[in-house]
């Protein structure tokens, strides 16, 4: 791999001092940021003219289901448990390795085009290797895990596993994929949620997490009925239960966290548990509004996710940023969740959620070269005065502003097209593949 020099950019570093460098250059050598400042041209370097463009750290999207990209617009106007039982589990059970691969490519393309460079993904129970392959080929940085489900109502036979094989299959994938591609691809354990996981399975997940030093990625307290059922089953709230099982800690990543008791919020704080905030999905499924501003004020790490395309129905980071901000303003005043706070949620807080804050999440010398070029000189963002770059990005930005995406030092997307995914084949094939899955699902 050679060097890349980005010339004359407006660099929004997102570092701890929120440094911004106007008209600066950035040198990428191999997979890392080698220098920021005034960089002399080098013979063999690829030079990118970024005059008038923003450069900022790629977004880190910490809760998605690539496996559900194919189910976009197929499961609307339903609340969580009906949505899962009537549609999503049946559709997931009908996936094969080809449809899972298409689904992952579709999701990754949409994510990268909205400026995302890293994801935390929960797959379905089977065919997760397709998502690993798609992530590897696409160049995205990804933490992926197979969903684990060994109990629960209305689960199709094809998705229900016994405890031991769920743990064993996870461990096989860990050995195959964790740390692949020079550390760009990683495994994150994915027990689906308490209602589909036995105590024995969750304890096993805790052991695997310790043994291989892995994140645990799950759903928690997303829906009122779900939360009440967990309480009936265990006598505890979700977070209390995870704590009781010894799973609470900085490696525990909990999507949603809408319906927490006060003492569970204390556990989040004390144990350094990470909250993955999914504003669009929470609204679309009618689940509620997570008290994200309260979490931030308490020093709890909140990062963003779009959840799957089947409950959103897009994977557009700009939409999540805007909603995450706007949702807090009626209750806490217009100054709450300002644009810079949201920018940090979408970048460095995502890195912290994954335990990768030394490697990604800001533009700093020595960190991985995961960054985007954003053109503020477009109708939806003009006027682009340099007084308010965070407002330009968070409040008026959209995927159309993203001109280039670099991950691990490689140009993955350029001029609105993926370099690493055959979009013509993808677009041409998706409808047929989706129709086959729907037919197999009997829907």
Residue 222 found at the interface with Fe ion (CB under 5 A): no
- Binding of residue 307 to Fe ion (CB under 5 A): yes
Q: Tell me the per-residue interface mask from 145 to 184 with ligand GUN, x by CB under 6 A, - otherwise.
A: ----------------------------------------
DSSP bridge pairs for 185: 142, 180
Residue showing tokens 């084949």: 425
Q: Are 337 and 324 in contact (CB under 8 A)?
A: yes
C-alpha span between 408 and 412 (Å, rounded):
9
Q: Which stretch binds ligand GUN (CB under 6 A): 41-49, 156-164, 305-313, 412-420?
A: 305-313
Q: How far is the CB of 249 from ligand GUN (least distance, A)?
A: 21
Q: Which does 72 bind (CB under 5 to 8 A by kind): Fe ion, ligand GUN, none?
A: none
| Minimum separation from the CB atom of position 434 to Fe ion (A) | 20
Residue 217 near ligand GUN by CB under 6 A: no
Do the beta carbons of residue 81 and residue 24 sit within 8 Å?
A: no
Please give the structure tokens belonging to residue 371.
């960054």
Contact between 123 and ligand GUN by CB under 6 A: the answer reads no
344 binds, among ligand GUN, Fe ion, none (CB under 5 to 8 A by kind): none
Q: Is 53 in the site for ligand GUN (CB under 6 A)?
A: no
Tell me: does residue 311 bind ligand GUN (CB under 6 A): yes
Residue 307 in contact with ligand GUN, rule: CB under 6 A: yes
Taking the least distance from each CB to Fe ion, the nearer of 150 and 307 is 307
Three-class HEC string of 238-302: HHHHHHHCCCCCCCEEEEECCCCCHHHHHHHHHHCCEEEECHHHHHHCCCCCCCHHHHHHCCCCE
Note every long-range contact of 433-436, with CB atoms under 8 Å and residues 24 or more positions apart, other chains counting.
Answer: 433/70, 433/98, 433/99, 433/102, 434/70, 434/71, 434/74, 434/99, 436/99
Residue nearest ligand GUN, Cβ-based: 219
Q: Should residue 322 be labelled a site residue for ligand GUN when binding is judged by CB under 6 A? A: no
Please state the closest distance from residue 76 (CB atom) to ligand GUN, in A: 13
Least distance to Fe ion from the beta carbon of 137, Å? 24
Determine contact, residues 268/300, Cβ cutoff 8 Å.
yes
How far is 431 from 376, CA to CA, in rounded Å? 34
Q: Between residues 215 and 406, which has the closer beta carbon with respect to ligand GUN?
A: 215
Measured between alpha carbons, how far is 134 from 150 in angstroms, rounded to an integer?
Answer: 26
d(CA 332, CA 338): 11
- The beta strands (E) that lie in 130-269 are given as 141-145, 147-148, 185-191, 215-220, 252-256
Q: How many residues bind ligand GUN (CB under 6 A)?
A: 12
Tokens matching residue 314: 């897009």
- Residue 110 contacts ligand GUN per CB under 6 A: no
Site string for Fe ion, 256-295 (x = CB under 5 A): ----------------------------------------
DSSP 8: E
Q: In the complex, which residues of this chain contact ligand GUN (CB under 6 A)?
A: 65, 80, 84, 88, 192-193, 219, 222, 281, 307-308, 311
- Using CB under 5 A, list all residues that contact Fe ion: 307
């Amino acid at each position: 791999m050679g060097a890349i020099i980005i010339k004359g950019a407006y660099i929004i570093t997102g570092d701890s001092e929120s440094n911004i460098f106007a008209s600066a250059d950035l040198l990428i050598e191999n997979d890392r940021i080698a220098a920021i400042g005034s960089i002399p041209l080098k013979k063999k370097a690829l030079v990118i003219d970024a005059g008038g463009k923003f450069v900022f750290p790629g977004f880190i999207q910490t809760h998605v289901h690539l496996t559900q990209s194919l189910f976009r617009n197929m499961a609307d106007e339903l609340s969580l448990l009906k949505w899962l039982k009537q549609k999503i589990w049946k559709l997931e059970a009908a996936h094969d390795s080809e449809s899972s691969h298409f689904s992952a490519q579709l999701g990754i393309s949409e994510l990268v085009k909205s400026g995302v460079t890293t994801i935390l993904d929960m797959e379905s129970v089977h065919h997760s290797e397709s998502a690993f392959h798609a992530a590897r080929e696409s160049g995205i940085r990804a933490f992926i895990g197979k969903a684990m489900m060994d109990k629960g109502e209305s689960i199709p036979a094809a998705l229900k596993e016994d405890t031991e094989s769920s743990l064993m299959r996870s461990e096989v994938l860990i050995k195959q994929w964790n740390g692949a591609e020079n550390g760009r691809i990683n495994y994150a354990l994915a027990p689906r949620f308490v209602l589909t996981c036995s105590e024995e399975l969750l304890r096993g997940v805790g052991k695997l997490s310790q043994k291989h030093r892995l994140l645990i990625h799950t759903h928690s307290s997303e829906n009122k009925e779900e939360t009440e059922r967990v309480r009936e089953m265990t006598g505890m709230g979700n977070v209390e239960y995870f704590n009781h099982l010894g799973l609470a800690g900085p490696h525990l990543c909990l999507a949603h966290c809408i319906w927490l008791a006060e003492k569970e919020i204390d556990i989040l704080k004390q144990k350094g548990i990470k909250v993955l905030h999914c504003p669009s999905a929470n609204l679309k499924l009618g689940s509620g509004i997570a008290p994200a501003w309260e979490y931030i004020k308490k020093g709890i790490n909140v990062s963003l996710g779009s959840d799957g395309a089947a409950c959103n129905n897009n994977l557009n980071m700009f939409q999540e940023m805007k909603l995450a901000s706007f949702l807090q303003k009626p209750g806490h005043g217009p100054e709450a969740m300002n644009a810079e706070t949201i920018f940090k949620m979408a970048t460095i807080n995502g890195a912290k959620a994954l335990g990768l804050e030394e490697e990604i999440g800001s533009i700093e010398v020595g960190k991985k070269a995961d960054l985007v070029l954003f053109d503020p000189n477009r109708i939806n963002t003009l006027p682009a005065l340099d007084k308010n770059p965070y407002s330009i990005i968070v409040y008026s930005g959209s995927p159309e502003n993203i001109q280039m995406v670099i991950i691990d030092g490689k140009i993955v997307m350029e001029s609105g097209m993926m370099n690493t995914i055959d979009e013509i084949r993808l677009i041409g094939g998706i409808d047929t593949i989706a129709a086959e899955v729907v037919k197999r699902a009997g829907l």
